[in-house]
Structure 1
Amino acid sequence: MHPFPQPESAASFDPWSPVFVADPYPAYAALRATGRVHRFEPTDQWLVPHHADVSALLRDRRLGRTYLHRFTHEEFGRTPPPAAYEPFTTLNGQGLLDLEAPDHTRIRRLVSKAFTPRTVERLVPTVRRLAAELVDDFVEAGGGDLLTAVAEPLPVAVIAEMLGIPASDRAPLRPWSAAICGMFELNPSEETASAAVRASVEFSAYLRELIAERRRNPGTDLISALIAALDEGERLSEQEMVSTCVLLLNAGHEATVNTTVNGWWTLLRHPEQLAALRADHGLLPTAVEELLRYDTPLQMFERWVLDDIEIDGTVIPRGSEVALLFGSANRDPERFADPETLDLTRRENPHVSFGAGIHFCLGAPLARVELSASFGELLRRAPGMRLAAEPEWNPGYVIRGVKELRVEL
């Protein structure tokens, strides 16, 4: 731990408090009002709350998602992860999200050959069909939990379909993903780590079998395309392929699930905006972007400081970790007019919910297709949808969402 005092302004930033998780935005406003960078001792991080700084640091090559391409743990002043975490560490460490150049450049280029705009375009009818089927069943049931009935199964099914995972094998995908993503929360417990390690072992073993099968019998799915992807004689290793598939599933649905339920919870609390959207479904494209801005599912994105940086006169030394507060950046009045107001017609909307720079979300186009499909179907088929019970928030702060969203039709 560094011997820097924690400023009083950060005292209200409490990512383990249910009250804070339910509404972190007043604390963000306090952070923005009192400085551009704040030391937060409990996680040994520097909090960055302003849009201009978050946006610039996402593109700054002096920061990285990893430091192992330049330093050992010891050189960087960090403790290596416990040996018992190895299955999770390997799985996560070989995924695009936690790599830097040159490996990130090579793998992203290869994955991009398989995950093309044409691939996403081809999926549009499938996404719309799946959304329609799920919403039909939901309407027939008279409502229920929007999370388990529509928000969750849609993106999981889409990614599984893309990867060529048979329908009969899909049940463990969401539990595996949830267990692995638990490690992205702040100061995860030993219990969380054990669950992530178990899920990493099981998910990796399943994918290795599936990859072997696709090598023998290639198909039109993304795994077959990843096996075939070549770039100047380079191809993905088996571990890189496994890590890529896990990342595509985890990142490809966690955010979409939470944007769907958080978005509907937001709309149901803003009846005038919801009425305007119900009256004009043509607002859907700007509405989706505004819901992503107003209550982003990923509240924080962490980066390592590889070379000293300075923010507003404060030198943040190499070896530190910065926490870029996406939720705060998306409500920054220096960048957004009237940022605390939900405005589904907002035209200029440079939110950072999909990141920026080399780690900009590869699946952003697919996420937009899925969100437009599910919101569109629910607007059409359930025009009178209303809240049945006040939702409770999950304890997680980094990936933030409600436990369920019970609605009536």
Structure 2
Amino acid sequence: MSELARQDRRTPAELGFDPWSPAFVAHPYDVYARLRDQAPVAWYEPSNQWLVSRHADVGALLRDRRLGRSYLHRFSHEEFGRTPPPPEHEPFHTLNGHGLLDLEAPDHTRIRRLVSKAFTPRMVESLRPAVRRIATGLVGELVADGGGDLVAGVAEPLPVAVIAEMLGIPEGDRQLLRPWSAAIVGMFELSPTPETADRAVRASIEFSDYLRALIAERRRAPGDDLVSALIAAHDEGDRLSEQEMVSTCVLLLNAGHEATVNTTANGWWALLRNPDQLAALRADPEGLLPTAVEELLRYDTPLQMFERWVLDDIEVAGVSIPRGAEVALLFGSANRDPARFAEPDRLDLARTDNPHITFGAGIHFCLGAPLARLELAESFGAVLRAAPGLRLAAEPGWLPGYVIRGLSELLVEV
């Protein structure tokens, strides 16, 4: 029987794909293996998407300009056969629609060029002492308490504190950031509820208002922070609009810190389940951390699915997908594809041939990848130094989300 004939008989649901199932969210990798083998490009009726599960296909589509994160640079909603979002969701879509993640050329090209002038590798590297100080302090508190929840104690506060320091947000206001971020990214899950949408809209308004006030303050009195650098960034007379600056700051917090939080927690859970690899890392943290960070990003990918619109008819692995369709690129599956990774289900912290796609590819490759890598290296390094005997205190549970996948808590003892 041909591969396409098998696809006709076995749908993703029949193969076990169910992003609303807690059991699937906790362990999707056996289902991914069946998808790659039997239905590598398949229509999934519940979400009205084409699922793409193989590394080669996902990587190629991320670079294919016949797909886009948006279609509005070429079509209206009606021309594309889509229903416009409800008017009451406008604050969320305005905020999200002016961020790099959801823009296409030429706007994406222009804004990324301007943001890159402010968000330079030199600026990121200059943050290392601050990141190390924050990580050391958070881990020190965890150790002083004899353990606790690694998610709430270290994984969540570290990237929030770092981005707040980058943006120059006063310390007294920083507790606002995580709730705003959590509310906004709820809209990236499949079929968000009306309550989720309401929370995202409120958070979009409040966060935008806060950042507009901060931008106005930095215009009056520039500082040594990213907001001031974004205000100053220009190219042949072109500058970022206020909305573009607001959306950039929110994207840096949301996309950057959600991935770092979940890679930290998921990574420690993977290490604690693989004691041989944890022992190797403890024996040589400086030598192994660079490849270990990449392997942990691959092994339990924080962003499991990345969606793209089909702007022109395409064919993927012999399957025709029409313009107007949406594809769901399964990052978690691509990062476990045996066609690209040797022994993909084995955690190998020394893995050097590791072209994972956790940060994407093409024009939307994650701008914050260097910062995420720095935060992860410093976070894992701080725990390894201060808590060399870290051990699991209780079996962890998973958050209900699938697209952004992470643990609800990770209780440890030191």
Q: What is the match of residue 334 of structure 2?
A: 329
**One of 142, 151, 155 as aligned partner of 2:155:** 151
Secondary structure of the corresponding residue to residue 238 of structure 2? coil
Give the CA deviation at 1:312: 2.1
1:28 paired with 2:25, answer no
AA matched with 1:254: E
Alignment deviations for residues 108-136 of structure 1 (CA, whole Å, 9 cap, x no partner): 00000000001011111111111111111
Deviation at 1:5, TM superposition (A): 7.4
* Residue in structure 2 matching 1:38, options 42, 52, 58: 42
2:3 aligns with none
Q: Is 1:261 aligned to 2:265, yes or no?
A: yes
CA shift at 1:245, angstroms? 0.6
Question: Equivalent residue of 2:329, what SS?
Answer: strand
Deviation at 1:9, TM superposition (A): 4.3
Cα distance in 2 between the residues matched to 1:357 and 1:40: 25
How big is the shift at 1:8?
3.0
Q: Which residue of 1 aligns with 2:359?
A: 354
Per-residue CA distance 1:14-68 (angstroms, 9 max, x = gap)? 0000000000001100000013301001110000000000001000000000000
What's the counterpart of residue 131 of structure 1? 135
Alpha carbons 2:12, 2:43 under 8 Å: kept: no
The secondary structure found in structure 2 opposite 1:377 is helix
Which residue of 1 is the match for residue 100 of structure 2? 96
The CA distance in 2 between the partners of 1:303 and 1:179, in whole Å, is: 22
- The correspondence for 1:62, drawn from 60, 66, 75, is 66
Amino acid at match of 1:350: P
Considering only aligned residues, what root-mean-square deviation do their CA atoms show, in Å? 1.1
Superposed CA deviations along residues 201-245 of structure 1, whole A, max 9, x for unmatched, are: 100010010000001111110000101110111111111111111
Residue 403 of structure 1 aligns to a residue in which SS? Answer: strand
Could you tell me whether the CA contact under 8 Å between 2:67 and 2:310 is conserved in 1? Answer: yes
Partner AA of 1:217 in structure 2? A
**C-alpha distance in 2, partners of 1:153/1:393?**
19
1:304 alignment partner AA: W
Cα pair 1:252 1:367 within 8 Å, conserved? yes
Contact preservation (8 Å) 2:11, 2:43? no
**What amino acid is the match of 1:211?**
I
Q: 8 Å contact 1:10–1:38 — kept in the other structure?
A: no
Rounded to whole Å, the distance in 2 between the matches of 1:6 and 1:209 is 57
- Corresponding residue for residue 246 of structure 1: 250
Cα shift readout 1:47-98 (whole Å, capped 9, x = no counterpart):
0000000001000000000000000000000000000100001000111000
Separation in structure 1 between the aligned mates of residue 248 and residue 295 of structure 2, nearest angstrom? 29
Residue in structure 2 matched with residue 8 of structure 1 by the alignment: 11
Aligned partner (choices 378, 381, 393) of residue 398 of structure 2: 393
Match of 1:379 in 2: 384
Counterpart in the other structure of 1:285: 290
Name the CA distance, whole Å, in 2 between partners of 1:317 and 1:383.
54
SS of structure 1 residue aligned to 2:240? coil
Of the candidates 176, 180, 183, which is equivalent to residue 179 of structure 1?
183
Q: Which runs of 5+ in 1 are unaligned?
A: none
- Separation in 2, partners of 1:314, 1:8: 14
1:235 aligned partner, one-letter code:
R
Could you tell me whether the CA contact under 8 Å between 1:7 and 1:39 is conserved in 2? Answer: no
Partner of 1:198: 202
Q: Cα distance 1:343–1:246, how it changes in 2: closer, same or farther (>3 A)?
A: same
2:14 aligned with 1:18? no
What are the equivalent positions in structure 2 for 1:295-374 lying under 5 Å apart? 295-374=300-379
For 2:319 and 2:330, the matched residues in 1 are separated by 18
- Give the secondary structure class of the aligned counterpart of 2:309: strand
Contact 2:156–2:261 at 8 Å: present in 1 too?
yes
The whole-number CA distance in structure 2 between the counterparts of 1:310 and 1:330 is 22
Structure 1 residue 10 displacement after superposition = 3.8
1:371 maps to amino acid: L
Q: Distance in 2 between matches of 1:378 and 1:53?
A: 37
What are structure 2's unaligned runs of at least 5 residues?
1-6
Q: 2:146 aligns with which of 142, 146, 157?
A: 142
